[in-house]
Structure 1
């Protein structure tokens, strides 16, 4: 019993000494701070936000993205103006390019929603016992006949000249424009 009481008193003395040391250290620090600042808080620089660097990065990234979007728009408008047409939606281009047979087929078989045409999710509709899931549509093979080289082409192994290449490119563009106008 005597030993326990003695150990308790010793522990209390040590804790009191530690508290006194900590209080003395705080008093010393506050005294130094008062001498340095005169008791006033500095108002030179506010504390930096935790998100400051992220916000700065986001601002720079949004500015870069805005510039790139503007450049892309101007290039798109310039290229579409040089082709002879204004900016059009894909829907309008598709509707203008339809022939009578396609329109008639459209009226006979109205189109389903895009999600029902996609066959990748048919395994959700058919249980395993019903049989196979229908295969995807196969790509149509190329029906164009291979070009047979003539004697003229065999005589010129170097290929068409620069002017001939330009001319053929322009003729192809002209044919495409004629097809669009029909």
Structure 2
């Protein structure tokens, strides 16, 4: 059995303490992406591990498979994690942006991170309305991510979030404003 395949099987068994295994997988993937992709695609273990590994690989060729997994309730969260690792900013954004309106707040929060990270045209306009999201974790994630985006709209949304009824959202809004200041995106709070 291939070393990478053994490690993928080990991931299933050691999910709670998998960092050393994940690090070793990352090293193998970086050393030989083509071979790693073949092993990952042929992986006969659980689908969660296969999707997770596709995200570590980050090959744009796997975007359709990762996007398709978003329709499976048992795979959605790991598919979002994998989506964030795919190296195709435009393709990933096209998949993630509609998920900003997903019924699952965990998916919305993950989509906020992905859309903000890639910062494709129109990202700020898509993100700012989430300052009114009913879920405080989505608003908290948004507050942090807005701290890295240029323009006046993120700052206005952050200033609104400073008055949020949930303390941790207000805390992250303040951190977002401080992050903007540190990056030279604003004149100060």
Same fold flag (TM > 0.5): no
Question: Shorter-chain TM-score category?
Answer: under 0.3
Q: Which structure has the higher relative contact order (CA within 8 Å, separation 6+)?
A: 2
The structure that has the greater radius of gyration is 1
Write 1 or 2 for the structure with the bigger share of helix: 2
